[in-house]
Structure 1
């Protein structure tokens, strides 16, 4: 049997060392590839979830914007209704003032016929207030109300309706402002999710695995914060 010389044994040992070194490098590269693939998988999952949440936030912002427009429109309609009813009330008040003025003139002139004539033409909503005012003996009582129009019992037609329409308008206007604020919140949430998308896409651009994981961790924190806000915000399904 041929025995290897010192040179041959040295070369064999060198080849063995090179093979072990190559095997080690291959194992290191394989582990690095696995870690890189893990970073990519995590980034893809993060981006996919964030994309869905961004779309949902945009949808909610749009819906709340629509609700805001509807509430503003309803508020405007009620303002118009209040103005129309207020006009009716003012017209009725003007008629009552004219007839009451005639009665005052007749009373001052002691014209009984004109007094009766004017009283017969008092409107149904003015007559009770006039009787209540007259019962206070205004011609002799200095503490009596100055006119029937100062009494709570005098309510011309349209006044209550105008106040109710104004109250409804105020409610719709407040709802519109609240809807606008909610839409703005969802808009800001889309900006937050956009940052998550940006950092998630940026994580694969670094050669350093540590930097990639750091960027992904920051994006994950932003995503969690966004999800918490998304759960807390009111929604329109």
Structure 2
């Protein structure tokens, strides 16, 4: 009689343990599923944001190419006028010299960007009282005769904005990849918890206490492994439980 009561007591304890583990595992499964879905949402958001920023960066890059081509055409015209000025000087043709110098003066003043003006040494404060003298003085500088497009830093300046945006796009994309990886990890945790729930669900169907002990032990071990692994996975960016309850 005592042995029967002992078996019933043991069976009752096992049932309580199984019920408690079922409840805890169910809660942890729900938690892992929810956090995994948050990672999935962040992944989608970051991928979309990355694509939008990349599109903007590509647009800025194309604009940079167009601006550079315009400035290259301008420099080609400037170089041609410089040749005309030098040729007029060599031939003592003051009229042609003055005409070419005037063209060059106003072309530079009207079309130069501040970046290009700095590279070629053109001063915006030059007065237009005597364009010929100003242009001839400017042409004495080495900067005036060297193509600004030989300056790597100057060429890169056309694409500075695009490079910044594309770098930001890559960073956001990398975060999206991390969110995807973390979401997959939480998915794996959910699967393990599902296995635990299954094992606990069938534990009561075994008549042998030893079999029940084995099933419960395997379930507990799997639960601990899944929980420890889950704790190593980063939470979603900006995650706050309290934030979900704020109006």
Do the two structures share a fold, i.e. TM-score over 0.5?
Answer: yes
TM-score range (shorter-chain normalised) is 0.7 to 0.9
Looking at structure 2, the residues matched to 156 and 122 of structure 1 have their Cα atoms a distance apart, in angstroms, of 17
Question: Which residue of 100, 104, 109 corresponds with 2:79?
Answer: 104
Would you say the 8 A contact 1:106–1:112 is kept in 2? yes
In structure 1, list runs of 5 or more residues that go unmatched: 1-25, 140-144
Q: 1:160-211 deviations in whole A, cap 9, x for unaligned?
A: 2211111110110110011111101100000111111111112111111111
Would you say the 8 A contact 1:92–1:156 is kept in 2? no
* 2:30 matches 1:41: no
Map 1:107-118; keep pairs closer than 5 Å. 107-110=82-85, 111-118=100-107
Would you say the 8 A contact 1:200–1:216 is kept in 2? yes
Matched length: 206
Q: Structure 1 length as normaliser, TM-score?
A: 0.78
In structure 2, list runs of 5 or more residues that go unmatched: 86-99, 123-138, 242-247
Q: Match for residue 119 of structure 1?
A: 108
Looking at structure 2, the residues matched to 177 and 93 of structure 1 have their Cα atoms a distance apart, in angstroms, of 35
Would you say the 8 A contact 2:29–2:194 is kept in 1? yes
Looking at structure 1, the residues matched to 106 and 210 of structure 2 have their Cα atoms a distance apart, in angstroms, of 100
Would you say the 8 A contact 1:50–1:197 is kept in 2? yes
Q: Structure 2 length as normaliser, TM-score?
A: 0.75
SS at match of 2:172: helix
Looking at structure 2, the residues matched to 46 and 179 of structure 1 have their Cα atoms a distance apart, in angstroms, of 29
Q: Match for residue 214 of structure 2?
A: 214
Looking at structure 1, the residues matched to 162 and 151 of structure 2 have their Cα atoms a distance apart, in angstroms, of 19
Map 1:160-199; keep pairs closer than 5 Å. 160-199=160-199
Q: Match for residue 91 of structure 1?
A: 66
Larger Rg: 1
